[in-house]
Amino acid sequence: MSAVLIKRILARLPDREQDWSMNRSGHWRSRLTGTMLGQLQLATYAAVLLGFTGATSTGLLLSERSRLRVSEAELLAASASLADRLENQHGQGDQSETLIVQQLRDHSSVRTNLWLEQPNGQLITPRRAHRPIPADLLKAAVSANPLRKRGQSHLIVLQEREYLTLLDRRLPSGDLLWSSTEISGLGSAQGEFLAWMILIWGSSLSASLLLVSLLVKRITKPLQELSNRSAELTAEGLQNAALPVPKGPQELSQLTRTYNALTERLAQSWSQQRQFVSAVSHELQAPLTLVSGSLKRVIRKAPELEAQLVQRLHDAEEETIGMQQLLNDLLDLSRSDSGRLQVKQEPVDLHPLLDEVVRAQGTVLDRELSLELPADGITTTALGDEARLRQVLLNLIENAHKYSPPEQPIQLRLRSGLNTLMLEVEDRGIGIPLQDQAYVFDRFHRGANTTGQSGSGVGLSVVKLLLEAMGGSIKVKSEPGMGSCFRIQLRRAP
C-alpha cells in the first residue's frame, strides 16, 4: 500500500515541477510586460540593442569593404605601372619573353603578384618572384572570370588564405594583365578589430542598459508614488493627499496636477457631506424625540384602544428608537471626523453594567441573553466611558438579534487577562462571509448575505470608533451559517 502511494507521489513530482516553472515564467512575464516600467525597459533595451548591433554590423561591413577597396587600389596601381612599361616596350618592338618576365618580377612585391595570359591561354608568371604565385590561385582566378571581363576583382580562398585577384586590362599585344594580392594579414587585423569591437560593444551595451534602467526608474518614480498614494487614499486623508509636482516630463507634471485637483474636489465634497449629515442629524433629533414621547404617552394613557392599534403604536415606537440610534451613530461619526468626539477615560465596573444591559435587552428583544462572568474575587473594572460602553453593547446585541433565528440565545462573556478585560458577544446567526470579514467595521459596508435585512452599515463602524477612542479594540471571528463572535478588549483600570 505504501509503495503504491510513493509511486503516485513520485509520478506527480514532474507535474509540480512543471507547474512551478510555469508559475515562475508567468511571474517574470507579468513583471516585464504587465507594468509600464517593464514595458519601457523592454522597449528601451530593444532599441539600444538594435542600435548597437546595427552600428557594429555596419562598421564591420564598411571595414571589409574598405579592406577590399584598399587592396584593389593597390592592384590597380601596380597593374597600371606595369602596363605603361609593357606598352612602351611594345611600341619599341621589344617583346621578348625574358624582358616581359623581368618586368613582371620588378613590378611584383611581397604581397602583390602580376602575370600575363596570352591569347593562346598560356600564362607568363614572374620567375623567382618575391613570393611564388600558387598554381591553384592562377587556375582559380581564371575560372572565376570565364568571360574575361576587365576591371572585375574576385575574392579567392585557398588553404585558409585569402587572395584578391583582378583582371585589369588587355594589352596592345593581346595579352591579359592579371594581378593578385594576399589579404590574409588584413583579415587577421580585421579579426583583432572585430574582437575589440565585440568587447567594446558588450561593455558599452551593459553600461547603456544600466543607465537606461536607472533613468526609466527615475522617470517612472512619480507614477509609482502616485499609484501608491492612490492605493492608500482614504476619506480621512483627503486633506493631505496632494503630491508635489515633479520637475520632469510635462505629462507627469500634468498628471500630478490633475490628481491633486481631484483629491481637492473629493476633500471638499467629503467635507460638505459630513456637514450635511451632521446638520440633518441635529435637525431630526428634536422631531424624533417629540414623536417618541408622544407615542409613549398615547400608549400609557389609552388602555382602551384595540390590541391591533396598540401593536402598531409599539411598532412605531421601536422604529423611532431605531432611527434615534442611527442618528446618534451618524452624529458620533461626524464628531469624530471633525475632531469633536468626546470620550471619557475613567474606571467602569463592567459587572453591574453587563447585568443591567442583559436584563433590559432580554425583556425588550424577547430573547434569551446569557451572561458568563469571571470567578469571584477577580476585578472587573476597566478604563472607559460607561455611557459609550453601554452604547457599544447595545449595538452589538441589536446586531446579533437582527441576524439570528428567534429561538437561538445570545451569549455575553467577560474574561480577565493580565492587564486587560475581554468582552465577548456571540450569536448563532447567519455569520459573516469570509470576503466581508476584513471590511465589517468599515462605514456603510454590509455583508453579501444581509440583503434581506434592513440596516445602514453604520453600527459596527461606530462600535470600533468608540472603543478605539477609549483605548480598546474589537475583533470578529465568524463562520457563515454558524454565527459570529465579537471580542472587545479593554484596558484594566489601575
Domain CATH code at residue 479: 3.30.565.10
Task: Give the tens place of pLDDT for each residue, 284-319.
Answer: 667 777 777 777 777 777 667 777 777 787 778 777
Mean pLDDT of 140-165: 83
Do 77 and 205 have their domain in common?
yes
Mean pLDDT of 400-425: 91
Mean pLDDT of 391-403: 90
The CA dihedral of 143, 145, 147, 153, to the nearest 10 degrees, is -170
Quick check: 232 pLDDT over 80?
Answer: no
Tell whether 251 is covered by a domain. Answer: no
Tell whether 237 is covered by a domain. Answer: no
Q: How confident is the model at residue 262 (pLDDT cuts 50, 70, 90)?
A: confident
Do 348 and 445 have their domain in common?
yes
End-to-end CA distance of the chain: 63
Tell me the β-bridge partners of 490: 421
What pLDDT was estimated at residue 349? Answer: 93
Quick check: 236 pLDDT over 70?
Answer: no
469 vs 230: which has the higher pLDDT: 469
Q: Evaluate whether 114 touches 179 at the Cβ level (below 8 Å).
A: yes
Q: Evaluate whether 361 touches 397 at the Cβ level (below 8 Å).
A: yes
Whole-number Å distance between alpha carbons of 319 and 321: 5
Q: How many domains does the chain have?
A: 4
Q: CATH number for the domain including 278?
A: 1.10.287
Whole-number Å distance between alpha carbons of 121 and 143: 12
Quick check: 407 pLDDT over 80?
Answer: yes
Quick check: 151 pLDDT over 90?
Answer: no
Tell whether 224 is covered by a domain. Answer: yes
Tell whether 376 is covered by a domain. Answer: yes
What pLDDT was estimated at residue 249? Answer: 67
For residue 488, give the C-alpha cell. Answer: 472587545
Evaluate if pTM is beyond 0.85: no
Among 336, 361, 382, which residue terminates a domain?
Answer: 336
H helices within 129-183, ranges in order?
135-144
Tell whether 26 is covered by a domain. Answer: yes
> Poorest-confidence range of 101-110, 215-224, 270-279?
270-279
DSSP 492: B
Quick check: 426 pLDDT over 50?
Answer: yes
Do 320 and 433 have their domain in common?
no
Mean pLDDT of 318-333: 72
Do 99 and 166 have their domain in common?
yes
